[in-house]
Amino acid sequence: KSLKVGIIGAGIAGLSCAHQLTLAGHKVVIFDKSHGVGGRMSHRNYEKWGADHGAQYFTAKDPLFAEEVQRWIQAGVASPWLGKIVSYTHGQIVDSDPTKKRYVGVPEMSSPAKYLAKNVVLELSQTITEITKINGYWEVSSKESGVLPHQFDFLICATPPAQAKNLIGKNSQNLQVMCSEVQMQPCWTFLAYLRNPLTLDFDGAFINDHIFSWIARDNTKPERSRYETWVAQANPAWSEEHLDLSHYEVEPLLIEAFQNLTGAECDLYQTHLWRYAKLENESQSNYGLDTQNQLALCGDWLRTSTVEGAWMSGFHLAKVLNRMYS
């Protein structure tokens, strides 16, 4: 049986699920509140410079995801990142495992998401606020357009758990409990353009005992801008503590921390708060499924907070639906 499926969230989990369902002959429509796809696999472009301000790179441990990454590489939307990655503790630098393969989207982190989105119907700039079952079919309403003209056999929430919980509401007790059990950690992110390149002898560093837990020279990734651009991510505890500050309040704190750490003079900079950046602990669920109510959940938070975890979650949900409705 061919299903009409609605997916809320065009991050890599929703898109991976949509891609597999489409291959099996189901009709899929994806909604996203943003004006582009990729969710947390995102890239910001400013006048002359730009940087990946969400996911920094991805690894591929599972053979299924490793095969997918090879397809992305062949399609020209991903590439290995050969930057020098270290760990850094109070000025002590230790090289990270040089055999570890790290990949990035090219020319930007969202490129694999754009590639997966090619063959699905996308409705962007639609913030879904309500889902309702009418005469056995799911309908969705958005903040921007009210009730949307679709009727779905099956509805999938591919958003972080807080948003999924609001949407699921009383429509599925089991799925709502799954959303409630998970906490996501925030991340204040700092992006800086430097006229004078830094002389630091690495391109990415995991930092211990500091406001920042990760800094990276974004322009060493393939096909990026030639301008010296750094991304710095505040650690989860610091981000949580400063969650209620405005951008104006947080900026001087992040600039000072970045300058103290690297000696940099930042010529241009931006900040961004990811309210639901990463999962605190790994989950074994893979996906959430309520066959009786024809509702499901997928996303990184049901597996691991990585691009791989999100892709695998969407993939496994689609496989089980494809088996059930073949």
Which residues of the chain form contacts with ligand FAD (CB under 6 A)? 8-14, 31-34, 39-41, 54-58, 127-128, 158-160, 163, 187, 189, 233, 274, 277-278, 299-300, 305-307, 309-310
> Three-state SS for 17?
helix
Output 121 or 195, the one with its CB closest to ligand FAD.
Answer: 121
Output 62 or 265, the one with its CB closest to ligand FAD.
Answer: 62
CB of 16 to ligand FAD, least distance (A): 8
CB of 173 to ligand FAD, least distance (A): 20
CB of 263 to ligand FAD, least distance (A): 24
Output 117 or 194, the one with its CB closest to ligand FAD.
Answer: 117
Give me the phi and psi of 20, to 5 degrees please: -70, -40
CB of 195 to ligand FAD, least distance (A): 25
Output 2 or 183, the one with its CB closest to ligand FAD.
Answer: 183
Asked if residues 130 and 167 have their Cβ atoms less than 8 Å apart, the reply is yes
Residues 6+ apart with CB under 8 A from 312: 16, 62, 64, 65, 286, 303
Output 90 or 101, the one with its CB closest to ligand FAD.
Answer: 101
In angstroms and rounded to an integer, the radius of gyration of the C-alpha atoms of the chain is 20
Please write down the HEC assignment for all residues of 98-111.
CCCCCEEECCCCCH
Rounded Cα gap, residues 43 and 91, in angstroms: 29
The structure tokens listed for 121 are: 């119907």
- Which residues on neighbouring strands pair with residue 104, listed in sequence order? 79
CB of 304 to ligand FAD, least distance (A): 8
